[in-house]
């Protein structure tokens, strides 16, 4: 693992953020940091993503900052130029993965089949996103693939929430879970950063508690 992966694993949860207004990026990042969660995956689901990443990188250098929903090499370039330290994709696109690997950039492509997982390992990856986690089989699926692929680690995202995160984090092959419950769009739109700080703090505490109670494969 690398420094990025170590940081993600230590925190246990990855805030997956959709930002419409780039002026909200810095206050949002600061709210997460105040809650003990200096980590953010800003998704390329809006045109504000690159600007938001650039603003966070400039004003909040303590944030471990990534870009999500990266599906093309052009988006990868835009994210890296803006200041992203790692990239996350919803699916397994060999071209994007190879491009990131060639640049030495940590990349977590989405996988949900053994075939995609083997392709990831073939390209030198030891940690991938598991998406859509709940729809693709949830903790039971990850426990099953842990047998033939003991060296592979996962970051489940998609349908993960406070009610089911424990079932994922108890697995030894899960480093963290991605989710948006600590950065709800209605709270971002309302600029309710106190609520986001509280939700971030609760998410970190929940992840730590689940890890303490877990340990199964």
Give the CATH number for residue 192: 3.20.20.70
- For residue 150, whether the previous peptide bond is cis, meaning omega lies within 30 degrees of 0, is no
In a domain, 149, yes or no: no
Asked whether residue 117 is domain-assigned, the answer is no
From the candidates 30, 57, 129, 143, give the one annotated as an active-site residue: 129
Picking from 45, 42, 44, the residue whose alpha carbon sits closest to that of residue 24 is 42
Find the catalytic residue in 10, 20, 30, 41: 41
Domain count for the chain, please give it.
1
Contact 105, 81 (CB under 8 A): no
Cβ 102 vs Cβ 78: under 8 Å: no
CA dihedral over 27, 32, 38, 44, signed as positive or negative: negative
CA distance 172 to 174: 6
pLDDT tens over the chain, length 217 residues: 689 999 999 999 999 999 999 999 999 999 999 999 999 999 999 999 999 999 999 999 999 999 999 999 999 999 999 999 999 999 999 999 999 999 999 999 999 999 999 999 999 999 999 999 999 999 999 999 999 999 999 999 999 999 999 999 999 999 999 999 999 999 999 999 999 999 999 999 999 999 988 654 5
Domain that holds residue 38: 3-108+161-210
Does 191 participate in catalysis according to the annotation?
no
Q: What is the token pair recorded at 167? A: 């079932």
Note if 41 is an active site residue.
Answer: yes
């Amino acid at each position: 693992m690398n420094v990025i992966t170590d940081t993600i694993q230590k925190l246990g949860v990855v805030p997956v953020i959709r930002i419409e207004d780039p002026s909200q990026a810095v206050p949002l990042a600061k709210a997460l940091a105040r809650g003990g969660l200096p980590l953010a995956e800003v998704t390329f689901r809006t045109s504000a993503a690159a600007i938001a990443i650039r603003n966070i990188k400039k004003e909040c250098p303590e944030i471990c900052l990534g870009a999500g929903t990266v599906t093309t090499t052009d988006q990868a370039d835009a994210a890296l130029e803006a200041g992203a330290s790692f990239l996350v994709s919803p699916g397994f696109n060999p071209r994007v993965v190879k491009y990131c690997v060639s640049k030495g950039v940590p990349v977590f492509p989405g996988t949900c089949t053994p075939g995609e997982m083997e392709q990831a390992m073939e390209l030198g990856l030891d940690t991938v996103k598991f998406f859509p986690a709940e729809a693709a089989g949830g903790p039971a699926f990850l426990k099953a693939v842990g047998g033939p692929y003991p060296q592979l680690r996962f970051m489940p995202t998609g349908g993960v929430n406070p009610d089911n995160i424990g079932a994922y984090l108890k697995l030894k092959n899960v480093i963290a879970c991605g989710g948006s419950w600590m950065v709800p769009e209605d709270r971002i739109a309302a600029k309710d950063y106190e609520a986001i700080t509280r939700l971030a703090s609760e998410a970190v505490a929940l992840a730590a508690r689940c890890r303490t109670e877990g340990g199964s494969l």
